[in-house]
Amino acid sequence: MSPAVFRGGGRRLAPARAAALTLALLGLLAAYLVATVRAADAAEVVVSQGKPTTASSVEWAGTPAAAATDGNTGTRWSSAFAPAQWLQVDLGAPTAVSSIKLNWEAAYATAFTVQFSGDGATFTNATGTLRGNVGEQTVTVAGTARYVRLNLTERALAIYGYSLWEFQVFAGGGTPTTPPTGPTTPPPSGAATLLSYNKPGTASSEQNDVNCNPCTAGKAFDLDPATRWATSSTTGWVDPGWISVDLGATAQISRVELQWDPAYATSYRIQVSANGSSWTDIYSTTTGKGFKEVLNVTGSGRYVRMYGTARATPYGYSLYDFNVYGTGGAPTAPPAPPADPVFPATRLVFNDEFNDPAGTRPSTAKWTYDPGVPQNGELQYYTENSNNAQMNGQGQLVIEARKEAVNGRDYTSARMNTGGKFTTQYGRVEARIKVPKGNGLWPAFWMMGADFLTGRPWPYNGEVDIMEVLGRNTGEAYSTLHAPQYNGAGGYGQKYATVDLSQDFHVWAAEWDSKGIRFLLDGNQVFYASKATVEATRGPWIFDHPFYIILNLAVGGDFPGPIDASTPFPARMLVDYVRVYK
């Protein structure tokens, strides 16, 4: 329930030496020509383009299997919305296959294998289980096959299927002539140190105005995924645009991670320098895809720069994070994050069982009442009155929406939160709730980033909607994340059908760690928000910091729609308990 939704010169040689040098040069030239011919002989060629291609399914007629092998990056294949899918191409004859190149759309596979077959019926794995990424990905293989299949088993976007712009099979002795771009697999943990944290940054320009205040260079190196650097809105919407960091001492650079704002570079270079003025390229691309790009590079220098030469939008360049990894330098260690919980989590760190006598208000040692006028076009006024939030004497909290006039509103209800009393980073956050039925009713159990209370505006603080139900259809529910690049109606989440939730109590839970958030209803997973997927497809992941818990019942508004004569008042949301485990 978002708040905007609540939501040099030369020297002459003696003749003999000149003759010897000529012979040597001729020898080198001959060797070069032989090597060139051999390289040409060994160059890979695409053997799949235009060949018969089939799939387990297609999403619709406009995304057929053949679109993945037509050589057109403007067409794509997409599957039905299910995890077990496949796409295969018939090369026409047994072929010595050397690599596969994939160009994934946002709906990529988080688990897949490449398989070979001689007859199209019996397939063997040519690879182990692989993980895809948005954009281009190259997989080296070896073997002879007539049929090459992608066996897809796990989706990055659970609400969709799989989608590929291109599926290219290569034969020959080298690697594809076009280098892979986009996110790549980082080296093992511990192989490199973060060198750029809180180091001085400079840029071609900086934005510091009402729309981005401040978006200075240092914001790209603070490890805060909700802050960013941007080029000036008055002088910086030009090419080139750049940002650099001083690592404090010479370093060996092995990896660079870029988390882009939508104002990203389609063409850019990663450069190193010993003095901040003379630069050497260690990476370049003309096919930048935005979102998160993980670049495995090799270079040495004290300074590292992103030098953008072509923009994806009419605007400038902007990065939420520009992280440099390697050895050497003069690194500053960032704060250590909390340890990930092990699920099932069993250590209870917060709870309210609501077992007080009837009429008792929720404990102010645990809860803060949040009175006032709501957002999102809602009709109610949130009060601190006991008739809007009290115990029923049967072990439940009753949040009640009433038809009564208060402060210019015709309805009242309650909203309460643990802000200032309890926050958590990671763990299992759960509540057992019975929701009301009725047009325009909007019960919710959710969390807000605690820095909202100290002045960070929504959605930069982050919002986790564990449960939202719309009273007009209590046979479905929503679990959603809101952040700078995905919020309001564009939030990242899932609507899921279920039983009539108004007929009994149900347990909603979020199991949350540094890798993502798993949403559950009555013990069954309804949605998984993977940090890696979000960063690669939506934008920064801003959920690695403390959050507080909120319960409320809204009346009317943009999301649930209007009330009508059939809407029951008073309407009651019953909460049996709220518990948090680590």
| SS3 state of residue 440 | coil
In 3D, which of 308, 306, 311 has the Cα closest to residue 295?
Answer: 306
- Tokens matching residue 34: 């032989």
Contacts of 486 (CB under 8 A, 6+ apart): 492, 534, 538, 539
**Catalytic residue from among 44, 463, 511, 535:** 463
462, 542 contact by CB (below 8 A): yes
In 3D, which of 178, 127, 181, 121 has the Cα closest to residue 150?
Answer: 127
In 3D, which of 465, 469, 498 has the Cα closest to residue 480?
Answer: 465
Given the DSSP bridges, would you call strands 124-125 and 368-369 parallel, antiparallel or unpaired? unpaired
463 catalytic, yes or no? yes
Alpha carbon 205 to chain centroid distance?
27
In 3D, which of 284, 275, 289, 277 has the Cα closest to residue 307?
Answer: 284
φ, ψ at 110 (rounded to 5°)? -90, -10
Alpha carbon 393 to chain centroid distance?
44
Provide the 10 A C-beta neighbour count for residue 377: 14
What is the rounded CA–CA span in Å between residue 386 and residue 402? 12
Could you tell me how many helices (H) and strands (E) the chain has, helices first?
2, 35
What is the rounded CA–CA span in Å between residue 81 and residue 411? 41
* CA count, 13 A, side-chain hemisphere, 31: 6
φ, ψ at 19 (rounded to 5°)? -65, -45
- Tokens matching residue 133: 């990424």
Q: Which amino acid is at 342?
A: V
In 3D, which of 386, 433, 375, 407 has the Cα closest to residue 549?
Answer: 433
What is the rounded CA–CA span in Å between residue 135 and residue 122? 30
Helices (H), 57-183: none
171: left (phi over 0), alpha (psi -120 to 50) or beta: beta
What is the rounded CA–CA span in Å between residue 62 and residue 75? 9
**Catalytic residue from among 468, 476, 511, 535:** 468
Q: Where are the beta strands (DSSP E) in 118-162?
A: 124-125, 135-155
Distances (CA, A) of 399 to 116, 272, 393, 416, 441: 59, 59, 14, 9, 12
Degrees, nearest 5: CA angle 501-503-504: 80
404 catalytic, yes or no? no
Q: Which residues are known catalytic residues?
A: 463, 468
